[in-house]
Amino acid sequence: MQASRFSQYRIMWVLVFFDLPTETKKDIKSYAKFRKNLVEDGFVMFQFSIYMRHCPSKENAEVHIKRVKSFLPEYGKVGIMCITDKQFGDIELFYCRKIQEKNLPSQQLELF
């Protein structure tokens, strides 16, 4: 039973990608608040405007997805995607044309 608890198909990654306006001071403040809320909820930057968070289960991922939806900005585009650890592990990263070593955040310890 213990092995299935840490299955690559049970562990999830939540990715939030966004394109928010930054033309006015109000826009910039809204962008900064959204980004700050992501970071406070345990998301880390993967690329500019793409943040990700490790979740031990689909149920836990749904909690964080709901939380992100609660602080969506008034304007702009936001996408939320949830993938398994197995799918995320198959990612290929490139810098220029050279394959990049995966420098992903380490698994977070979560206490329940």
3-state secondary structure of 88: helix
User: So what's the pLDDT on residue 99?
Assistant: 80
20-to-5, 25, 32, 73 alpha-carbon distances in Å: 37, 13, 10, 8
> Is it the case that residue 3 has pLDDT exceeding 90?
no
Q: Hey, which bits of 20-106 come out as E strands? A: 44-47, 50-55, 77-84, 94-95, 98-99
Provide the 10 A C-beta neighbour count for residue 22: 13
All structural domains of the chain? 2-99 (3.30.70.240)
pTM of the model: 0.81
> Mind listing the pLDDT tens digit for each residue in 80-100?
999 999 999 999 888 888 887
> Mind listing the pLDDT tens digit for each residue in 37-96?
999 999 999 999 999 999 999 999 999 999 999 999 999 999 999 999 999 999 988 888
Provide the 10 A C-beta neighbour count for residue 18: 19
